[in-house]
Amino acid sequence: MTDVSVRFAPSPTGRLHVGNARAALLNWLFARKHGGSFLLRLDDTDAARSTSEFAQGIEADLRWLGLGWDRFARQSERFDFYTAATGKLKQSGRLYPCYETPEELELRRKIQLSRKRPPVYDRAALKLTDADRAKLEAEGRRPHWRFRLDHGVTAWDDLIHGRVEIDMASLSDPVLVRSDGYPLYTLSSVVDDGDLGITHVIRGEDHVTNTAAQIQLFAALDYAVPVFGHFSWLLDAEGAGLSKRIGSLSLADLREQGYEPMALNSLLARLGSADPVEPQLDVQALVAGFDLGRFSRAPARLDPHELDLLNARILHASDFNTVRDRLPAGATEAFWLAIRGNIGRLVEAADWWPVVSGEIATVIEDPAVVAAAAETLPAEPWDGATWKAWTQAISARTGAKGKALFHPLRLALTGRDKGPEMAPLLPLIGRDRVAKRLSGV
């Protein structure tokens, strides 16, 4: 493929959540895999709900994930394009005025359903005469505008679903312009995709039916029709809709809870595909193995436990330079290497920093073992071999072995009954602190 161009088009009416992140990541990976461009388009035409704060939050979330964009656009700056497209469609006869109120449309819908008929718009507005329309407008009604679909079958080869065919007679003519002249999503999205040269539209399968109407709209506006790919629903581990535990949390929430962006990227890049989920330390590492054709139509399941495991594995493999700016002030590389294999989230590093640099509550479980430890405490300098030699001396004096030896020492020195290996931790604590803690102070 050449000249590939994809887009991610969130509305700045809230913060990005996991579902949004999946859409952004799959588009970004597709673009990078094929040497194409990634457009960030803010669909901010809803002036009442869109805010600059949310827009800035979306950009911050994408940067956190490592998903930089090559081009940027705002729908709020493109109304002239939508007006021009509306005029073209009216002139060609594909856009027609309708005067039904929402209440009237709902009543028709209920009648159709009661008669076991699909609730498809009956195109009654096409039967109105000029006099009928003038009378309605004299009564104060202002038309909304529907796009007249060509009945028959609209088909396309979907990157994930394969061949898709939609009977257009089963669909209502979509409303493209509200009665106040406001362009709706179907129109603005097609105009932007066409004008900005989007070659591939990769989005959730809830848009499959929309795609059929949009393909006709692309053609009616003389735009090249993009290639479409619709990825599956995202469910929780039990197969239900995503819970607030993970799925509907914003990326800002996940960041605040201490998740690494690459844990989320590593999971979402493979979730729903035939490829195994493996932790990656850099988003670029996900590009080589990315293949949208390996994604399934079956719903993908997001297990929070899997995300937790990935997060831990990524931290365990992260070097000091990757995390140093997020560690407690004064934390060293030796400290990081000592604790990283025992934490699931980076925020836990702050819990271990006082163990090696400050004061802790001393716990004396076995006074005899602790007393022997104080009596055999070696002189500094200490290194990674000090712990083994020291505990052997304590064991020889007390006869304590295994848990009976190591558990009382860990409690006395760290105040905790489990944690990182003591061999690298001991030199960081230092002899003075060790001696003080063994004395029970």
| CATH code for the domain in which residue 166 is found | 3.90.800.10
Is 183 within a domain?
Answer: no
Total count of residues recorded for the chain:
441
Q: What is the DSSP string of 138-203?
A: HTT---EEEE-PPPSEEEEEETTTEEEEEEGGGSPPPEEE-TTSPBPHHHHHHHHHHHTT--EEEE
Q: Distance between CA atoms of 39 and 42, rounded to whole angstroms? A: 10
8 A C-beta contact, residue 41 and residue 9: yes
Return d(Cα 280, Cα 263) in angstroms, integer: 8
Model confidence pTM above 0.85: yes
Domain assignment of residue 89, yes or no: no
Alpha-helix runs per DSSP H in 340-385: 349-357, 367-375
**pLDDT tens-digit map of 97-125:** 999 999 999 999 999 999 888 999 999 99
Domain that holds residue 406: 333-438
pLDDT tens digit sequence for 278-328 = 999 999 999 999 999 999 999 998 888 999 999 999 999 999 999 999 999
pLDDT computed for residue 233 by the predictor: 87
Tens of pLDDT, residue by residue over 147-199, are 999 999 999 999 999 999 999 999 999 999 999 999 999 999 999 999 999 99
45 with 242: CB under 8 angstroms? no
How many other C-beta atoms lie within 10 A of the C-beta of residue 399? Answer: 12
Q: What is the CA radius of gyration of the chain?
A: 31
pLDDT at 355: 96
Q: What is the pLDDT of residue 441?
A: 63
pLDDT at 241: 75
The confidence score (pLDDT) of residue 42 equals 97
**Would you say residue 385 lies in a domain?**
yes
**Mean pLDDT value across residues 211-238:** 94
- Those residues whose C-beta lies under 8 Å from the C-beta of residue 306, and which sit 6 or more positions away, are 267, 277
- 131 assigned to some structural domain: yes
CATH code at position 403: 1.10.10.350
Examine the pLDDT at 1 and tell me if it is beyond 60. Answer: no
Integer Cα distance of 413 and 422 in angstroms: 9
Q: Domain ends where: 115, 142, 177?
A: 177
Nearest Cα to Cα of residue 367 among 402, 409, 403: 409
Q: How far is CA 119 from the centre of its chain?
A: 35
Residue 148 in domain? yes
Q: Is 372 helix (H, G, I), strand (E, B) or coil?
A: helix
270 assigned to some structural domain: no
90 found inside a domain: no
Distance of alpha carbon 165 from alpha carbon 161, whole angstroms: 11
In the prediction, which pLDDT does 244 show?
61
Query: Taking the CA of residue 306 as centre, how many other CA atoms within 13 Å lie in the half-sphere pointing to its CB?
Result: 16
Looking at residue 146, what is its pLDDT? 98
Q: How many domains is the chain partitioned into structurally? A: 2
**Residue 375: pLDDT band with limits 50, 70, 90:** very high
Domain-located, residue 306: no
pLDDT band at 440 (very low <50, low <70, confident <90, very high): confident
Task: Tell me the CA distances in angstroms from 271 to 9, 292, 297, one per residue in order.
Answer: 21, 11, 12
Tell me what pLDDT residue 362 has: 86
Q: Please, what is the average pLDDT of the chain?
A: 94
